[in-house]
Chain A
Amino acid sequence: MAEQHTVTDGKHKASTNAGGTLLGNSRPSAVGGGGRGSLSGGLTQPAGWQSLLSFTILFLAWLAGFSSRLFAVIRFESIIHEFDPWFNYRSTHHLTTNGFYEFLNWFDERAWYPLGRIVGGTVYPGLMVTAGLIHYVLNLLHLTRPDLHLHLPADTGTVEPGGGATGRLLHRHRPGYISRSVAGSFDNEGIAIFALQFTYYLWVKSVKTGSVFWAIGCCLSYFYMVSAWGGYVFIINLIPLHVFVLLLMQRYSKRVYIAYSTFYIVGLVLSMQIPFVGFQPIRTSEHMAAAGVFALLQAYAFLQYLKDRLTKQEFQTLFFLGVSLAAGVVFLTVIYLTYTGYIAPWSGRFYSLWDTGYAKIHIPIIASVSEHQPTTWVSFFFDLHILVCTFPAGLWFCIKNINDERVFVALYAISAVYFAGVMVRLMLTLTPVVCMLSAIAFSNVFEHYLGDDQKRENPPAEDSSDEDEKRPSGNLYDKAGKVRKHVSDQEKAEEGLGPNIKSIVTMLMLMLLMMFAVHCTWVTSNAYSSPSVVLASYNHDGTRNILDDFREAYYWLRQNTEEHVRVMSWWDYGYQIAGMANRTTLVDNNTWNNSHIALVGKAMSSNESAAYQIMQSLDVDYVLIIFGGVIGYSGDDINKFLWMVRIAEGEHPKDIRESDYFTPQGEFRVDKAGSPTLLNCLMYKMSYYRFGEMQLDFRTPPGFDRTRNAEIGNKDIKFKHLEEAFTSEHWLVRIYKVKKLENREPLDHKPRVSNIISKQKYTSKKIAKRKRGYIKNKLVLKKGKKSSKKAV
């Protein structure tokens, strides 16, 4: 533990650096947004003041963004959160110790036993490579001790646990300044959102300038995005959509042509370099829109070229014929290829985005993940607070003053808001655009209300003009600049609004924004900063208890079991067992093999002897379950149990039937009224083994489950093939050892005793007669008969 401290020192350095790289890169875009509009800045030396101010503010915003992400580290300790990050950590570790090529060829025999998993080819390596690179650079500079690499993921992790899985963007707004800090995560999404933003920024830039240079930059950023997250499909569909809409709006220009052609070709080739993506970009339906638009764009450009050679009348007919023909041909080709099997149809995951009921019926494993649920308005408000109401206003302004780039922003906003509505997780892609658009809305307001009524000496239109190239939001400011001029023409009218109203508006708006900042801090510290591996509970007096059962149990596994034992658990804990306990798992969070998961689910939901057969066939040595009944932890396995049953039923409908686990009234209950199948299934028995002896409270009977508020129905649980190996302090994790086969199967029942045999003990009659005496006229008592009978 003493060592821990020194490491922590090094780690903070590292995390600062990591933060610098992550956030520093996003700075140009932020400057695009925020560079303009220091209203009173242009008093003496506009350029100097402005850059100093914007730099300071950006730096402060970055600092705030960074430190808010440190909540978790301060409250708990530097530890990797959740589930997926553990895998990322493990593979980064592999990468740094064995080198890049070894990593690409990594076959992980410790996961998905007995199948194994080809990690190199089934992973988006962007995150690991990034973390590995930072580690490498730091090592090069001798900043850290060699053993830092163990902690490095935690360091990059600290960059954003605050924003965490939902990737909330910290949006800091000051009069006229907009800056954002992108939340990263040691989950893929962390760097992916940054990559996404950067790609879009470069795309907009290349559309604006029409230069191949920016388009190539966009491709590189896209490549990074592809390497980091499966969400790259969003980019490869949104950019073609943008181009397509531009064509429809007759906003075609050479710039668009250059940008898209370069982007599509180079981006396609680059994206195919990632082993996991491979030939997907030309073989799956998700990517076909991009190809179709590419073909269409070529046809369009060719017709545009012909325009010069033909008369207007000829051209008109040819043009419409050509374009519609091209579109038709592209469409039919795609359909034909899909039917003949050259192109894979939409995968279930994407299909479920359109047909929202699809996953529930066909792919329970997707529907079971809480991140894939639709979004209520509460979670919108929780993540975005006031932005959720103001960003439509920004969108309104954007569309009212449309140009090429704002088309993109509008499309982005609409598609992202749709996806966020379908899946909570995709809120991640929505937040950047929401921040941008509400920044537009707010800065529009401040633009008009904040300025003093004094005349401005130099209309700042000229310094905005060089910056407004940078970003759609920045771009707005050339409009703003114009408005400014406009307003200064209308000086009297401007002054007419009066300083009082202006200051009231400004005050209230600032207050709203302040509330937003407070809200964000609260959300970050309360909701997104608990590392789920370590739980915290609060006593009545406000002191905090840390429940460290997970690590306790994993550490137990690591220390007390043989190195190659196989641990069976539900898939949620696969990555953690592999990462923390370093033991072989059967299934993990990479849910690539549904039938294998269903087999584990079947073992959990059958009775002990049936489960034992399955466990035998899978070579299971230990079974690990999570049980929250003692402390009232609601995310335990009994609460997830119905999903196990459902998934098992999907593959083994003959053996497992969901209805068996319900009471006749259709309820799922663990008390005496529960269905007998449930009360005797392996999961139930493992969860409640010896729980019946435990009285938690004087007010409740023994065996009272706090999570489900019920007294358990089966208190007398005995195991035949399993034995309890370990139960953590608060019973949160329970580990059972699977016994080897017995040499001789004992009978379940007592050997049958028949009266005849026992009585046939041979005794000589003579002796018996001689020895036994008897009483004469003894009263004989007949059993089973009543002495007195009533007359019927």
Chain B
Amino acid sequence: MNWKGDVYTSASSNMASGTSGFGFCLPVTSFLLILLLCVQSGGSQKKKENMLAEKVEQMMEWSSRRSVIRMNGDKFRRFVKAPPRNYSVIVMFTALQPQRQCSVCRQANEEYQVLANSWRYSSAFSNKLFFTVVDYDEGADVFQQLNMNSAPTFMHFPPKGKPKRADTFDLQRIGFASEQLAKWIADRTDVQIRVFRPPNYSGTIALALLVSLVGGLLYLRRNNLEFIYNKTGWAMAALCVVFAMTSGQMWNHIRGPPYAHKNPQNGQVSYIHGSSQAQFVAESHIILLLNVAITMGMVLLNEAATSKGDVGKRRILCLVGLGLVVFFFSFLLSIFRSKYHGYPYSFLIK
């Protein structure tokens, strides 16, 4: 979870610069708050209800316009923090401005939008739950007030009482997939949201484009379709699949390892993972290349023996092939040996 650390540092540095700016703001707002509270406590029960109805109405109106309500400091205090409330609010604290360079925030925002939309357009939509967002650049005071120093953070504000520990979404561990968020919300508020992802059209469009491109090509060359029967092309494609799989690209796809590891102490970059249970992306690329080289060597050896032509050329071809096979295989073996501790054999290269 490196990214979290990065976010943390960047956000906290912002925080430091921000503190001085908002220092004077705080008394004002707290004064306002006290004023607000006074008004409320002074008012009768009826007034309270009126106010609640007003708030709910306002929230509904906003959320009908946009599924995620944008909040600044004042709005946040009025609608999220201050009682009376009879609705739950989910707040995403984030920093979406481009100058903050928080790529995680953007991804989290997308997931959050998906979730909010699924709630907004579901049949169960009610005024019991609202989705809001507070951006650091619009409501830094809120961040300060809640002692928050990393973004993004998801929090749930229950209708009654203060948020507890479990009301902060455990982003580090669970991640921010909207399904997980929905599960968390169901846990906190008893509102079940079925996440409906808008079908990802980009993939479909890309596929359609590809198909039409290929179709167009075929149509243009309809008089000369020989190239479909080109075995080399097909063999290449097959080998690509094979190489991708044997070098563990599927593992990368599922586990999502980092590209390489940089040692924070001395800044050394290691491309090969030390354990046999894991691998880096860079490592799998290296292995892929080695595999390709060895296979090419084998093919060359064969070519050298079967092709016609100049003997000298074929000899060179043969030696090159042999060299490829032997050298790269021993290299591969040495990498394997370094990863698989206790493996006794090696060849040429230790």
Contact = CB atoms under 8 A, between A and B. Distances in A.
Contacts of B295: 389-390, 392-393, 396
A396 B243 CA distance: 12
Given A376-B277, A378-B279, A393 B305 contact: no
Contacts of A522: 343-345
A519 B235 CA distance: 30
Nearest to A496: B311
Contacts of B302: 393, 397, 441, 444-445, 448
Given A390-B294, A501-B318, A515-B345, A377 B241 contact: no
A686 interface: no
A413 interface: yes
B279 A377 contact: yes
B132 interface: no
Interface centre among A382, A449, A505, A515 (most CB of B within 10 A): A505
A512 B322 CA distance: 12
Nearest to B278: A376
A421 B306 contact: no
Contacts of A356: 250, 253-254
A390 B298 contact: yes
Given A395-B242, A417-B242, A508-B326, A374 B254 contact: yes
Interface string B183-210: 1000100000000000000000000000
A327 interface: no
Contact of B235 (A396, A498, A504, A666): A396
B231 interface: yes
B298 A378 contact: no
Nearest to A419: B245
A35 to B, nearest CB: 22
A493 B277 CA distance: 49
Contacts of A666: 170, 172-173
B255 A505 contact: no
Interface string A715-752: 00000000000000000000000000000000000000
A666 B166 CA distance: 13
Nearest to B277: A376
Contacts of B311: 493, 496-497
A163 B294 CA distance: 26
A361 B328 CA distance: 40
Contacts of B315: 497-498, 501
Contacts of A229: none
Interface residues on A, range: 35 or more
Give the interface size bracket for B toward A.
35 or more
Contacts of A361: 179
A657 B183 CA distance: 12
Interface string A479-505: 000010011001001101110010011
Contacts of B322: 504-505, 508
A186 B55 CA distance: 70
A639 to B, nearest CB: 14
B62 interface: no
Contacts of B344: 522
B241 A381 contact: no
B98 to A, nearest CB: 30
Given A378-B336, A397-B302, A522-B345, A418 B294 contact: no
B290 interface: yes
Given A497-B304, A497-B305, A374 B245 contact: no
Contacts of A392: 239, 242-243, 246, 291, 295
B222 interface: no
A413 B332 contact: no
A547 interface: no
A124 interface: no
A376 B276 CA distance: 8
Interface in A431-478: 441, 444-445, 448-449
Interface in B298-316: 298-299, 301-302, 304-306, 308-309, 311, 314-315
Given A392-B243, A399-B231, A399-B235, A381 B336 contact: yes
B8 interface: no
Interface in A343-395: 356-357, 361, 374-382, 386, 388-393, 395
A417 to B, nearest CB: 5
Contacts of B329: 386, 389, 512
A395 to B, nearest CB: 6
Contact of A519 (B241, B306, B309, B345): B345
A659 interface: yes
A414 interface: yes
A355 to B, nearest CB: 11
Nearest to A416: B245
Given A376-B279, A666-B170, A666-B172, A388 B246 contact: yes
A380 B301 CA distance: 24
A374 B305 contact: no
B94 interface: no
A232 B238 CA distance: 24
A410 interface: yes
B246 A380 contact: yes
A504 B315 CA distance: 12
B298 A377 contact: no
A377 B284 contact: yes
Interface in B268-298: 276-279, 283-284, 287, 290-291, 294-295, 298
A331 B183 CA distance: 36
B175 to A, nearest CB: 11
Interface in B76-106: none
Contacts of B170: 659, 666
Contact of B250 (A421, A511, A659): A421
Given A396-B299, A508-B326, A662-B173, A377 B308 contact: no
Contacts of A378: 248, 276-277, 279, 336, 339-340
A494 B315 CA distance: 11
A332 B153 CA distance: 46
B22 interface: no
Contact of B298 (A445, A496, A498): A445
A494 to B, nearest CB: 8
B71 interface: no
B41 to A, nearest CB: 36
A48 interface: no
A389 B332 contact: yes
B232 A377 contact: no
Interface string B246-266: 111111011100000000000
Contacts of A659: 166, 170, 173-174
B319 interface: yes
A739 B173 CA distance: 38
A490 B311 CA distance: 12
A420 interface: yes
Contacts of B332: 381, 389
Contacts of A379: 276
Contacts of B234: 399
**A-B interface, 4 closest residue pairs, ranked by CB to CB distance from nearest:** A448-B305, A496-B311, A393-B298, A421-B250
27 contacts: A356-B250, A374-B251, A375-B250, A376-B278, A377-B251, A378-B248, A379-B276, A380-B246, A389-B294, A389-B295, A393-B302, A395-B242, A399-B234, A413-B242, A417-B246, A422-B254, A441-B298, A445-B301, A445-B302, A448-B305, A483-B306, A497-B318, A501-B315, A508-B325, A512-B329, A515-B333, A659-B173
Given A380-B247, A389-B294, A449-B301, 20 more contacts: A356-B254, A377-B248, A382-B336, A389-B328, A390-B295, A393-B298, A393-B299, A399-B231, A418-B241, A421-B251, A444-B302, A445-B301, A445-B302, A497-B305, A505-B301, A512-B325, A515-B345, A518-B345, A659-B173, A662-B173
Interface of B: 166, 170, 172-174, 179, 183, 187, 231-232, 234-235, 238-239, 241-251, 253-255, 276-279, 283-284, 287, 290-291, 294-295, 298-299, 301-302, 304-306, 308-309, 311, 314-315, 318-319, 322, 325-326, 328-329, 332-333, 336, 339-340, 343-345, 347
